[in-house]
Amino acid sequence: MKKLILLLLIVPLSTFAQHVKKSKLSESITFEHKDITGKVFQHDFVSEILNNSRKIFVWIPEGYDLSEDKYPLLVVHDGGSVFINKKGSFGNGNMPKNDFIPKKRGWNLDEIVYELIQSKKIKPIIMVGVSNTKYRGLEYVPTRNGINYGKALIQELIPEIKKLYRINSGDIGTLGSSAGGTISLYLGWERNDVFTKAACLSPGIIFRGQNYFELFKKAKVPANLKLAMVNGSDDFDSGLQSGFDKCIDYLNKINFPKENLLYWVDKNGNHGSRSWSLQAKDILHWMYQ
């Protein structure tokens, strides 16, 4: 009889253990740096889908702790460069003259979004900077491993973010540059069930033997997407112009809603983080006003 009772106790516990999933996010620590504007938390994110790990940086707006509101979420690729750049990080070079952000190198999205919120040009948002890995060239390209990268964000990361931060599930956007701009286009276009906003800066839609445009035009047109695209005019971005133009021509051909589409060629823009900072400021104002 004692053996039977013991067996009944063990079996349910072992069955339950099989369904307990390992948390994908570590506990948060405050990310402190002299150049940070606002409050940023850092996590380690482990992806079973991608079989790797990376740092995640979560920027929360001023007043977050004083309310119970849910906030729009902006997922930004190359997240190690979003709030502060270390020397040699992606997008450091090609700094234009007369830069409006003299403080530091990098995207400076913390300053940009803080300023936009304080001036009431946009509503408060939460930003999550997702760091890249050595597999960036695969994970950020939909024709390579970008589909699994998207699954990792949607199935693993975002559900964990929602457990820790108050997120408006109906207002999730994504922003990236270069290959990060390409994966942002894919996420907005083909995973519009989750991402309702996409900002694509200098996107490599057709680049070095890969052609996402061929998949893009075959996919179902999303019903609810605000899409922003911009390309620079330096030598590197000029090489991306063909894919950019094909995409815009297709969007106009299918009568994509003009109120949901923002695009331009930045004549003073180049393939670098300072140009992307300027462009992102205009895009985010348009997206979240």
Q: What is the mean pLDDT of residues 120-132?
A: 97
Main-chain dihedrals φ then ψ at residue 148, nearest 5 degrees? -70, -35
For the chain, percent of residues with pLDDT exceeding 90: 76
Quickly state the pLDDT bin for 83 (edges 50, 70, 90).
confident
Q: pLDDT digit string (tens) for 242-267? A: 999 999 999 999 999 999 999 999 99
Q: What is the mean pLDDT of residues 184-192?
A: 98
- pLDDT value at position 196? 98
Q: Nearest-CA neighbor of 34 among 129, 104, 128?
A: 104
- pLDDT value at position 7? 43
Q: Count the alpha carbons within 13 Å of 173 in the hemisphere toward its beta carbon.
A: 23
For residue 120, give both structure tokens: 């009431």
H helices of 165-216, in order, are 179-190, 213-216
User: What is the Cα–Cα distance from 65 to 140, expressed in whole angstroms?
Assistant: 33
Domain segments of the chain as ranges? 30-288
Question: Mean pLDDT in the chain?
Answer: 87
Q: Which CATH class is domain 30-288?
A: alpha beta
Main-chain dihedrals φ then ψ at residue 65, nearest 5 degrees? -75, -10
User: What is the Cα–Cα distance from 213 to 186, expressed in whole angstroms?
Assistant: 10
DSSP assignment of 208-224 equals TTEETHHHHTTSPPPSS
Task: Please say whether the beta carbons of 283 and 199 come within 8 A.
Answer: yes
| Angle separating helix axes 109-118 and 273-288, nearest 10 degrees | 30
Q: pLDDT digit string (tens) for 195-211? A: 999 999 999 999 988 99
User: What is the Cα–Cα distance from 24 to 17, expressed in whole angstroms?
Assistant: 17
Residue that wins the pLDDT comparison between 35 and 164: 164
Residue type (1 letter), 199: A
Q: pLDDT digit string (tens) for 168-180? A: 999 999 999 999 9
Q: What is the mean pLDDT of residues 71-78?
A: 97
